[in-house]
Amino acid sequence: MTAAQFPNVRPRRLRRTPALRRMVAETRLHPAEFVLPMFVKEGLLEPAPIASMPGVVQHSLSSLRKAAHEAVTAGVGGLMLFAVPEERDAIGSAGVDPDGILQRAIREVAGEVGDSTVIMSDLCLDEFTDHGHCGVLRADGTVDNDATLEIYGEMALAQAGAGAHMLGASGMMDGQVGFVRRALDAAGYQDTAILAYAAKYSSAFFGPFRQAVESQLTGDRKTYQQNPANAVESLREVRLDVAEGADLVMVKPAMSYLDIVRQVADAVEVPVAAYQISGEYAMVEAAAANGWIDREQAILETLTSIRRAGASVILTYWALDAIRLLG
Protein backbone atom coordinates (compact mmCIF):
# COMPACT_ATOMS: atom_id res chain seq x y z
CA MET A 1 0.00 0.00 0.00
CA THR A 2 1.38 3.41 -0.97
CA ALA A 3 1.24 6.50 1.18
CA ALA A 4 -1.54 7.90 -0.99
CA GLN A 5 -3.68 4.90 -0.18
CA PHE A 6 -3.39 5.28 3.56
CA PRO A 7 -6.58 6.35 5.40
CA ASN A 8 -6.98 10.11 5.60
CA VAL A 9 -8.97 9.80 8.84
CA ARG A 10 -7.77 7.63 11.71
CA PRO A 11 -10.24 7.50 14.62
CA ARG A 12 -7.91 5.06 16.37
CA ARG A 13 -5.53 7.92 17.18
CA LEU A 14 -7.88 8.96 19.98
CA ARG A 15 -7.97 5.44 21.41
CA ARG A 16 -4.22 4.90 21.59
CA THR A 17 -3.61 5.54 25.30
CA PRO A 18 -5.74 5.51 28.47
CA ALA A 19 -5.21 9.27 28.81
CA LEU A 20 -6.51 9.92 25.29
CA ARG A 21 -9.50 7.67 25.79
CA ARG A 22 -10.27 9.35 29.09
CA MET A 23 -10.00 12.85 27.62
CA VAL A 24 -12.48 12.24 24.78
CA ALA A 25 -14.96 10.06 26.67
CA GLU A 26 -18.48 11.22 25.84
CA THR A 27 -20.14 9.71 28.92
CA ARG A 28 -18.86 9.98 32.47
CA LEU A 29 -20.05 8.44 35.70
CA HIS A 30 -20.11 10.32 38.99
CA PRO A 31 -20.86 9.00 42.49
CA ALA A 32 -23.57 11.61 43.03
CA GLU A 33 -25.60 9.93 40.29
CA PHE A 34 -25.77 6.61 42.15
CA VAL A 35 -28.56 5.60 44.52
CA LEU A 36 -27.96 2.54 46.69
CA PRO A 37 -31.04 0.38 47.36
CA MET A 38 -31.01 -1.05 50.89
CA PHE A 39 -33.17 -3.65 52.63
CA VAL A 40 -34.07 -3.74 56.32
CA LYS A 41 -35.89 -6.62 57.98
CA GLU A 42 -37.85 -6.29 61.17
CA GLY A 43 -36.55 -8.40 64.02
CA LEU A 44 -33.06 -9.03 62.67
CA LEU A 45 -30.13 -8.63 65.03
CA GLU A 46 -27.44 -9.13 62.37
CA PRO A 47 -27.36 -8.63 58.59
CA ALA A 48 -28.68 -11.62 56.63
CA PRO A 49 -27.18 -12.41 53.19
CA ILE A 50 -29.55 -12.65 50.22
CA ALA A 51 -28.61 -15.84 48.39
CA SER A 52 -29.60 -14.69 44.90
CA MET A 53 -27.84 -11.32 45.27
CA PRO A 54 -24.24 -11.96 46.35
CA GLY A 55 -22.91 -9.09 48.45
CA VAL A 56 -26.38 -7.69 49.26
CA VAL A 57 -28.00 -8.21 52.67
CA GLN A 58 -31.14 -7.67 54.63
CA HIS A 59 -30.08 -5.24 57.34
CA SER A 60 -31.01 -4.93 60.96
CA LEU A 61 -31.86 -1.39 62.04
CA SER A 62 -28.43 -0.96 63.59
CA SER A 63 -26.51 -2.36 60.63
CA LEU A 64 -28.62 -0.24 58.28
CA ARG A 65 -27.59 2.86 60.14
CA LYS A 66 -23.91 1.91 59.95
CA ALA A 67 -24.13 0.97 56.26
CA ALA A 68 -25.92 4.22 55.45
CA HIS A 69 -23.13 6.19 57.09
CA GLU A 70 -20.50 4.28 55.12
CA ALA A 71 -22.34 4.79 51.84
CA VAL A 72 -22.74 8.51 52.38
CA THR A 73 -19.09 8.82 53.37
CA ALA A 74 -18.18 7.09 50.11
CA GLY A 75 -20.18 9.68 48.19
CA VAL A 76 -23.43 8.06 47.03
CA GLY A 77 -26.09 10.45 45.85
CA GLY A 78 -28.95 8.75 47.63
CA LEU A 79 -30.31 5.73 49.50
CA MET A 80 -33.52 3.91 48.59
CA LEU A 81 -35.02 2.04 51.53
CA PHE A 82 -37.12 -1.13 51.36
CA ALA A 83 -38.49 -2.95 54.39
CA VAL A 84 -39.57 -6.47 55.34
CA PRO A 85 -42.14 -6.52 58.18
CA GLU A 86 -42.63 -9.34 60.65
CA GLU A 87 -46.39 -9.37 60.03
CA ARG A 88 -48.37 -8.81 56.85
CA ASP A 89 -52.08 -8.48 56.16
CA ALA A 90 -54.39 -7.95 53.21
CA ILE A 91 -54.16 -4.15 53.29
CA GLY A 92 -50.50 -3.71 54.19
CA SER A 93 -51.12 -2.12 57.57
CA ALA A 94 -47.43 -2.07 58.49
CA GLY A 95 -46.81 0.27 55.57
CA VAL A 96 -48.91 3.06 57.08
CA ASP A 97 -48.02 2.48 60.73
CA PRO A 98 -45.85 5.37 61.95
CA ASP A 99 -43.89 2.78 63.93
CA GLY A 100 -43.72 0.28 61.07
CA ILE A 101 -40.33 -1.05 60.07
CA LEU A 102 -39.92 1.21 57.04
CA GLN A 103 -40.75 4.35 58.98
CA ARG A 104 -38.37 3.31 61.76
CA ALA A 105 -35.68 2.69 59.17
CA ILE A 106 -36.19 6.12 57.64
CA ARG A 107 -35.86 7.73 61.07
CA GLU A 108 -32.69 5.77 61.82
CA VAL A 109 -31.07 6.77 58.53
CA ALA A 110 -32.22 10.37 58.84
CA GLY A 111 -30.76 10.48 62.33
CA GLU A 112 -27.45 9.19 61.04
CA VAL A 113 -26.95 11.10 57.78
CA GLY A 114 -29.49 13.93 57.89
CA ASP A 115 -29.52 16.00 54.72
CA SER A 116 -26.06 14.88 53.57
CA THR A 117 -27.70 12.47 51.12
CA VAL A 118 -31.14 12.00 49.59
CA ILE A 119 -33.18 9.59 51.69
CA MET A 120 -35.69 7.81 49.46
CA SER A 121 -38.37 5.34 50.51
CA ASP A 122 -40.39 2.81 48.57
CA LEU A 123 -44.02 3.86 48.46
CA CYS A 124 -45.73 0.59 47.58
CA LEU A 125 -47.71 -2.11 49.34
CA ASP A 126 -46.11 -5.26 47.97
CA GLU A 127 -43.68 -5.75 50.86
CA PHE A 128 -46.49 -5.34 53.39
CA THR A 129 -49.38 -7.37 51.97
CA ASP A 130 -49.95 -11.05 52.64
CA HIS A 131 -50.81 -11.56 48.97
CA GLY A 132 -47.77 -9.72 47.60
CA HIS A 133 -49.59 -7.35 45.27
CA CYS A 134 -48.84 -3.64 45.09
CA GLY A 135 -52.41 -2.74 46.01
CA VAL A 136 -55.45 -3.94 47.90
CA LEU A 137 -57.62 -6.60 46.30
CA ARG A 138 -61.28 -6.76 45.38
CA ALA A 139 -63.32 -9.84 46.23
CA ASP A 140 -62.50 -11.29 42.81
CA GLY A 141 -58.75 -11.03 43.46
CA THR A 142 -58.07 -8.10 41.13
CA VAL A 143 -56.23 -5.01 42.34
CA ASP A 144 -58.52 -2.12 43.29
CA ASN A 145 -56.75 0.93 41.86
CA ASP A 146 -58.67 3.70 43.63
CA ALA A 147 -58.85 2.01 47.03
CA THR A 148 -55.09 1.51 46.78
CA LEU A 149 -54.55 5.23 46.19
CA GLU A 150 -56.15 6.01 49.55
CA ILE A 151 -53.58 3.81 51.28
CA TYR A 152 -50.75 5.29 49.23
CA GLY A 153 -51.78 8.69 50.55
CA GLU A 154 -51.49 7.42 54.12
CA MET A 155 -48.13 5.78 53.37
CA ALA A 156 -46.84 9.01 51.90
CA LEU A 157 -47.64 10.94 55.07
CA ALA A 158 -46.05 8.26 57.26
CA GLN A 159 -42.84 8.24 55.22
CA ALA A 160 -42.62 12.01 54.90
CA GLY A 161 -43.27 12.35 58.63
CA ALA A 162 -40.43 9.92 59.34
CA GLY A 163 -38.01 12.10 57.36
CA ALA A 164 -37.87 10.80 53.79
CA HIS A 165 -36.76 13.45 51.30
CA MET A 166 -38.19 11.65 48.27
CA LEU A 167 -40.92 9.04 47.91
CA GLY A 168 -40.57 6.33 45.28
CA ALA A 169 -44.09 5.84 43.95
CA SER A 170 -43.57 2.38 42.51
CA GLY A 171 -46.98 0.67 42.47
CA MET A 172 -48.01 1.62 38.92
CA MET A 173 -51.53 2.56 39.97
CA ASP A 174 -53.28 5.05 37.70
CA GLY A 175 -53.25 8.52 39.26
CA GLN A 176 -50.85 7.61 42.07
CA VAL A 177 -48.55 10.59 41.64
CA GLY A 178 -51.34 13.16 41.66
CA PHE A 179 -53.06 11.56 44.65
CA VAL A 180 -49.85 11.41 46.68
CA ARG A 181 -48.88 14.95 45.71
CA ARG A 182 -52.21 16.31 46.92
CA ALA A 183 -51.98 14.33 50.16
CA LEU A 184 -48.47 15.60 50.85
CA ASP A 185 -49.32 19.21 50.06
CA ALA A 186 -52.47 19.17 52.19
CA ALA A 187 -50.45 17.93 55.16
CA GLY A 188 -47.72 20.55 54.80
CA TYR A 189 -45.14 18.36 53.05
CA GLN A 190 -44.86 20.53 49.95
CA ASP A 191 -41.10 20.06 49.87
CA THR A 192 -41.18 16.25 49.88
CA ALA A 193 -40.31 15.12 46.36
CA ILE A 194 -41.81 12.28 44.32
CA LEU A 195 -39.81 9.86 42.21
CA ALA A 196 -42.38 8.30 39.90
CA TYR A 197 -41.76 4.76 38.73
CA ALA A 198 -43.38 5.90 35.52
CA ALA A 199 -42.30 3.12 33.16
CA LYS A 200 -42.14 -0.04 35.25
CA TYR A 201 -42.32 -3.22 33.25
CA SER A 202 -43.62 -6.65 34.20
CA SER A 203 -40.20 -8.23 34.05
CA ALA A 204 -38.65 -11.64 34.65
CA PHE A 205 -35.65 -9.86 36.15
CA PHE A 206 -37.43 -8.97 39.41
CA GLY A 207 -36.93 -12.46 40.84
CA PRO A 208 -34.05 -11.88 43.28
CA PHE A 209 -35.71 -8.72 44.63
CA ARG A 210 -38.75 -10.76 45.57
CA GLN A 211 -36.48 -13.02 47.58
CA ALA A 212 -34.91 -9.97 49.23
CA VAL A 213 -38.29 -8.69 50.44
CA GLU A 214 -39.67 -12.21 51.04
CA SER A 215 -42.57 -11.47 48.71
CA GLN A 216 -45.80 -13.40 49.21
CA LEU A 217 -46.82 -12.96 45.57
CA THR A 218 -48.37 -15.76 43.58
CA GLY A 219 -49.24 -15.08 39.96
CA ASP A 220 -48.02 -11.88 38.34
CA ARG A 221 -48.52 -8.11 38.14
CA LYS A 222 -49.30 -7.85 34.46
CA THR A 223 -52.56 -5.94 34.99
CA TYR A 224 -50.71 -2.92 36.35
CA GLN A 225 -47.05 -3.20 35.33
CA GLN A 226 -46.28 -2.56 31.67
CA ASN A 227 -46.03 -5.03 28.82
CA PRO A 228 -42.36 -5.40 27.74
CA ALA A 229 -43.55 -5.17 24.13
CA ASN A 230 -44.67 -1.55 24.50
CA ALA A 231 -42.73 1.69 24.19
CA VAL A 232 -45.27 4.38 23.25
CA GLU A 233 -47.21 3.42 26.37
CA SER A 234 -44.21 4.42 28.47
CA LEU A 235 -44.20 7.91 27.06
CA ARG A 236 -47.88 8.24 27.90
CA GLU A 237 -47.26 7.06 31.46
CA VAL A 238 -44.32 9.43 31.86
CA ARG A 239 -46.21 12.46 30.59
CA LEU A 240 -49.13 11.70 32.89
CA ASP A 241 -46.83 11.44 35.91
CA VAL A 242 -45.06 14.69 35.07
CA ALA A 243 -48.43 16.43 34.67
CA GLU A 244 -49.48 15.07 38.08
CA GLY A 245 -46.40 16.55 39.76
CA ALA A 246 -43.58 14.01 39.54
CA ASP A 247 -40.20 15.58 40.31
CA LEU A 248 -38.28 12.71 38.70
CA VAL A 249 -39.43 9.82 36.52
CA MET A 250 -37.93 6.37 36.39
CA VAL A 251 -37.60 3.48 33.98
CA LYS A 252 -37.39 0.01 35.54
CA PRO A 253 -35.65 -2.31 34.65
CA ALA A 254 -32.76 -0.47 33.05
CA MET A 255 -30.53 -2.68 30.94
CA SER A 256 -33.19 -4.36 28.82
CA TYR A 257 -34.98 -1.03 28.38
CA LEU A 258 -32.23 1.38 27.37
CA ASP A 259 -34.30 2.40 24.35
CA ILE A 260 -37.07 3.46 26.74
CA VAL A 261 -34.60 5.41 28.88
CA ARG A 262 -33.48 7.31 25.79
CA GLN A 263 -37.01 8.03 24.60
CA VAL A 264 -38.09 9.20 28.04
CA ALA A 265 -35.03 11.44 28.42
CA ASP A 266 -35.83 13.04 25.08
CA ALA A 267 -39.49 13.54 25.99
CA VAL A 268 -39.42 15.21 29.42
CA GLU A 269 -37.71 18.08 31.18
CA VAL A 270 -37.45 16.49 34.62
CA PRO A 271 -34.53 14.26 35.64
CA VAL A 272 -34.73 10.65 34.47
CA ALA A 273 -33.74 7.76 36.72
CA ALA A 274 -33.22 4.11 35.83
CA TYR A 275 -33.13 1.13 38.19
CA GLN A 276 -30.53 -1.54 37.48
CA ILE A 277 -32.58 -4.24 39.12
CA SER A 278 -31.83 -7.38 41.07
CA GLY A 279 -31.91 -9.81 38.16
CA GLU A 280 -29.57 -7.64 36.11
CA TYR A 281 -27.21 -7.53 39.08
CA ALA A 282 -27.49 -11.27 39.75
CA MET A 283 -26.75 -12.26 36.15
CA VAL A 284 -23.47 -10.37 36.11
CA GLU A 285 -22.48 -11.63 39.54
CA ALA A 286 -23.22 -15.23 38.53
CA ALA A 287 -21.32 -14.96 35.26
CA ALA A 288 -18.36 -13.35 37.02
CA ALA A 289 -18.35 -16.03 39.73
CA ASN A 290 -18.05 -18.63 36.98
CA GLY A 291 -15.16 -16.78 35.39
CA TRP A 292 -17.11 -16.04 32.22
CA ILE A 293 -16.81 -12.23 32.35
CA ASP A 294 -14.68 -9.57 34.04
CA ARG A 295 -16.83 -8.40 36.95
CA GLU A 296 -15.34 -4.94 37.43
CA GLN A 297 -15.35 -4.12 33.74
CA ALA A 298 -18.95 -5.36 33.47
CA ILE A 299 -20.05 -3.16 36.38
CA LEU A 300 -18.72 0.02 34.78
CA GLU A 301 -19.83 -0.97 31.29
CA THR A 302 -23.42 -1.60 32.33
CA LEU A 303 -23.61 1.61 34.35
CA THR A 304 -22.08 3.60 31.50
CA SER A 305 -24.68 2.21 29.10
CA ILE A 306 -27.49 3.39 31.38
CA ARG A 307 -25.95 6.83 31.75
CA ARG A 308 -25.30 7.03 28.00
CA ALA A 309 -28.94 6.19 27.30
CA GLY A 310 -29.98 9.32 29.19
CA ALA A 311 -30.45 8.48 32.87
CA SER A 312 -29.04 11.11 35.20
CA VAL A 313 -29.81 9.03 38.32
CA ILE A 314 -29.03 5.31 38.53
CA LEU A 315 -30.30 3.01 41.26
CA THR A 316 -27.76 0.20 41.51
CA TYR A 317 -26.64 -2.38 44.05
CA TRP A 318 -23.13 -1.72 42.76
CA ALA A 319 -23.11 1.91 43.89
CA LEU A 320 -20.21 1.42 46.30
CA ASP A 321 -18.30 -0.88 43.94
CA ALA A 322 -18.66 1.66 41.15
CA ILE A 323 -17.44 4.52 43.33
CA ARG A 324 -14.41 2.48 44.31
CA LEU A 325 -13.66 1.63 40.67
CA LEU A 326 -14.09 5.23 39.57
CA GLY A 327 -11.75 6.42 42.29
- Give the per-residue SS3 of the chain: CCHHHCCCCCHHHHHCCHHHHHHCCCCCCCHHHEEEEEEEECCCCCCEECCCCCCCEEECHHHHHHHHHHHHHHCCCEEEEEEECCCCECCCHHHCCCCCHHHHHHHHHHHHHCCCCEEEEEECCCCCECCCCCCCECCCCCECHHHHHHHHHHHHHHHHHHCCCEEEECCCCCCHHHHHHHHHHHCCCCCCEEEEEEEEECCHHHHHHHHHCCCCCCCCCCCCCECCCCCHHHHHHHHHHHHHCCCEEEEECCHHHHHHHHHHHHHCCCCEEEEECHHHHHHHHHHHHCCCCCHHHHHHHHHHHHHHHCCCEEEECCHHHHHHHHC
The answer to whether position 58 is within a domain reads yes
The answer on pLDDT for 1 being more than 60 is no
pLDDT at position 2, please? Answer: 59
CATH label of the domain that carries residue 241: 3.20.20.70
pLDDT at position 238, please? Answer: 97
The answer to whether position 49 is within a domain reads yes
Tell me the per-residue pLDDT of 89-140, one tens digit each, with 9 for 90 and over. 999 999 999 999 999 999 999 999 999 999 999 999 999 999 999 999 999 9
> Average of pLDDT values for 231-252?
97
| Residue 113: domain span | 27-326
The answer to whether position 294 is within a domain reads yes
Q: Is 222 a catalytic residue?
A: no
pLDDT at position 217, please? Answer: 85
pLDDT at position 211, please? Answer: 86
The answer to whether position 17 is within a domain reads no
Tell me the per-residue pLDDT of 196-238, one tens digit each, with 9 for 90 and over. 999 999 999 998 888 888 888 888 898 999 999 999 999 999 9
The answer to whether position 227 is within a domain reads yes
The answer to whether position 4 is within a domain reads no
> Average of pLDDT values for 171-185?
97
Q: Is 66 a catalytic residue?
A: no
Kindly name the residue from 41, 66, 222, 252 that is annotated as catalytic.
252
pLDDT at position 3, please? Answer: 62
The answer to whether position 13 is within a domain reads no
The answer on pLDDT for 8 being more than 90 is no
The answer to whether position 9 is within a domain reads no
The answer on pLDDT for 247 being more than 60 is yes
> Average of pLDDT values for 311-323?
98
Tell me the per-residue pLDDT of 281-302, one tens digit each, with 9 for 90 and over. 999 999 999 999 999 999 999 9
pLDDT at position 180, please? Answer: 98
* Number of structural domains found in the chain: 1
